[in-house]
Chain A
Amino acid sequence: MNELLAEIKAIPGVIGGGVFSPERGLLANNLPSVFKKERVENIARSLIKLHTAGTYSYPDLLDVTLYYEESVLQIREVGKKLYLVLVGDPALNTSLLSLSINLALEESKGLDAAAAPAAEAGRGRGAGAGARALIDSGPLAEPLGRMQQALAKVIGPMAKIIFGDALEEWGGEEEPSLQGLSRLLTLLNREIGDPEKVRDFRDRVAPILKGAGAIQ
Chain B
Amino acid sequence: MATKEQFAEQIARVPGVKNYLLARGDGRVLVHNLAGAERLASMMVIGGLCSERIRALSGLNCLRYLVLGRTGQENFLVFPLEKYLLGVVQHPEVPPGEVAQGVSAFIEQLLRSRNSNGGAPGSRKEEGL
Contacts and interface: CB of A to CB of B under 8 A. Distances in A.
Given A43-B58, A67-B65, A69-B62, A58 B50 contact: no
B57 A43 contact: yes
A39 interface: yes
21 contacts: A39-B57, A46-B50, A46-B57, A53-B42, A53-B43, A53-B46, A53-B50, A54-B47, A58-B76, A64-B66, A64-B68, A66-B51, A66-B54, A66-B63, A67-B64, A67-B66, A68-B64, A69-B61, A94-B67, A94-B69, A94-B97
B65 to A, nearest CB: 5
Contacts, number: 88
Interface in A67-106: 67-71, 73, 94-95, 98
A43 B58 CA distance: 8
Interface residues of A, number: 28
Given A57-B68, A58-B76, A94-B67, 6 more contacts: A43-B54, A46-B50, A67-B63, A69-B64, A71-B60, A94-B69
B118 interface: no
B50 A50 contact: yes
A57 B43 contact: yes
B64 A60 contact: no
B55 interface: yes
A49 B43 CA distance: 10
